[in-house]
Amino acid sequence: MPDTAINLQAKLSGFSEHWSPRVVAEMNDYQFKLAKILGEFVWHAHEETDEVFIVLSGEMTLEFRDRAVPLAAGEMYVVPRGVEHRPVAREECSIMLVEPRGVINTGDAGGAYTAPNDVWI
């Protein structure tokens, strides 16, 4: 058991790359990941799991093929498994993702935005 709390702002200040999630904690088989996002991500889906987006600072939009869900700091959204989506941030936004260990950030799409998995900060 850790001796200190995890300071999310301190962890966020430890990296600057966009679309490159960093693990800050695990609970059972789930990872809590911090990420900085900017611009448009790739359209993708996660066939095996839901994905939680929690906005820590800034604003983002979760785009779906038939709608868009805007999110501001302090808001969250659960993308159901298998639903194609694309995160978009017009200005830098800091988020926390909650998903099972081993989930690839680009889901079924792959490509240049695929980040190394299980990178801790």
- pLDDT tens for 14-55 read 999 999 999 999 999 999 999 999 999 999 999 999 999 999
What is the 3 state secondary structure string of the chain? Answer: CCCCCCCHHHHHCCCCCECCCEEEEEECCEEEEEEEEEEECCCECCCCCCEEEEEEECEEEEEECCEEEEEECCCEEEECCCCCEEEEEEEEEEEEEEEECCCCCCCCCCCCCCCCCCCEC
**Domains of the chain by residue range:** 8-100
Structure confidence at residue 56 as a pLDDT band (50, 70, 90): very high
- Give residue-wise pLDDT tens across range 103-120: 999 998 989 899 999 999
Q: Find the Cα–Cα–Cα–Cα dihedral 120, 117, 28, 72, rounded to 10°.
A: 80
Note the CATH number of domain 8-100: 2.60.120.10
Identify the pLDDT of residue 66.
Answer: 97
Structure confidence at residue 74 as a pLDDT band (50, 70, 90): very high
Structure confidence at residue 3 as a pLDDT band (50, 70, 90): confident
